[in-house]
Amino acid sequence: MHPADYTDIVYEVDGTTAVITMNRPHRYNAFTAKTVEELTRAFRAAWADHAVRAIILTGAGDKAFCTGGDVKQRAETGDYGPSDSGMFEIGYLHKLIRDVPKPVIAAVNGLAIGGGHVLHVLCDVSIAADTARFGQTGPKVGSFDAGFGSAYLARVVGEKKAREIWFWCRQYSAAQALEMGLVNEIVPADELMDTAKAWAAEVADKSPTALRVLKQSFNADTDHQAGLSNMAMSALDLFAVSEEGMEGAKAFAEKRPPEFDKYYRPH
């Protein structure tokens, strides 16, 4: 896919660095099925490009890195919209970020919330603007990521903190994210991309084979979570179109508190 053909993202190669920018600022860079498809194509293009030694993932504007799946789209149509493949392949994108044999740097320029938070967690390292904020929202809007988004997060920040992040749906500052080991560095917002590109340039002169094998080695300990991710995505497909799942999406779109009480089951 030619870079000019992308509509939801921007793909650029700057020397040895591929920069993938989620480009839906009017929806806080929330993704649809089409966005995920374009992200997948961009990561595959960066994988195949022998000149590319590192990949930066970021968001357009200064408000949001990514706020996850487009809940307004889901409230309108019951899904995340059309794609060329006819599928919503967020699980495949998660695996691709892990599998691409080059360091992936998240440049978190604003809100990294929900599914957008999962994307930065899955990147090899994360650099945050001092204005960035982090958190999960699933249980608030009738959604969840019971695969990499929770199981791998627990490896990053520990079980107790991961459960807090998912159950309470709080938001955390960049400083709090650094303290819990969720990000590698905090910089002023206007220095974010320069810093991310400096990290990418620094790793570009390292042995690509050594980096590939090291990344595969790091992933080996948690690759079994791919099975959990597949099962979780299947469960989410069923849950998202249920009355309870749609109540969360509709409440978000209508800017009202969700009414989940009637769905409580004591078993």
Residues 6+ apart with CB under 8 A from 267: none
**Residue boundaries of the structural domains of the chain:** 9-205, 208-256
Residues 16 and 201 sit within 8 Å (Cβ to Cβ): yes
- Rounded CA gap, 110 and 128, in Å? 8
Assign domain 208-256 to its CATH architecture: Orthogonal Bundle (1.10)
CATH homologous superfamily for the domain 9-205: 2-enoyl-CoA Hydratase; Chain A, domain 1 (3.90.226.10)
Please provide residue 9's backbone torsions phi and psi, each rounded to the nearest 5 degrees: -135, 170
The structure tokens 């595969």 sit at: 216
Binding-site residues sit at: 80, 111-115, 136-138, 143, 255
> Is it true that 9-205 and 208-256 share their CATH fold?
no
- Rounded CA gap, 117 and 115, in Å? 5
How do the pLDDT tens digits run along the chain, 267 residues long? 677 789 999 999 999 999 999 999 999 999 999 999 999 999 999 999 999 999 999 999 999 999 998 877 777 776 777 788 888 889 999 999 999 999 999 999 999 999 999 999 999 999 999 999 999 998 988 889 888 999 999 999 999 999 999 999 999 999 999 999 999 999 999 999 999 999 999 999 999 999 999 999 999 999 999 888 889 889 988 998 899 988 988 888 888 999 998 888 776
Residue 28 Rama label (left phi>0; alpha psi -120 to 50; beta): left
- Structure tokens given for 258: 């969700």
Binding-site residues for hydrogencarbonate sit at: 136-138
From the list 31, 67, 74, 8, the residue with the least C-alpha distance to 236 is 74
Binding-site residues for substrate sit at: 80, 111-115, 137, 143, 255
From residue 155, give the alpha-carbon distance in Å to each of 76, 160, 162, 176.
35, 11, 9, 17
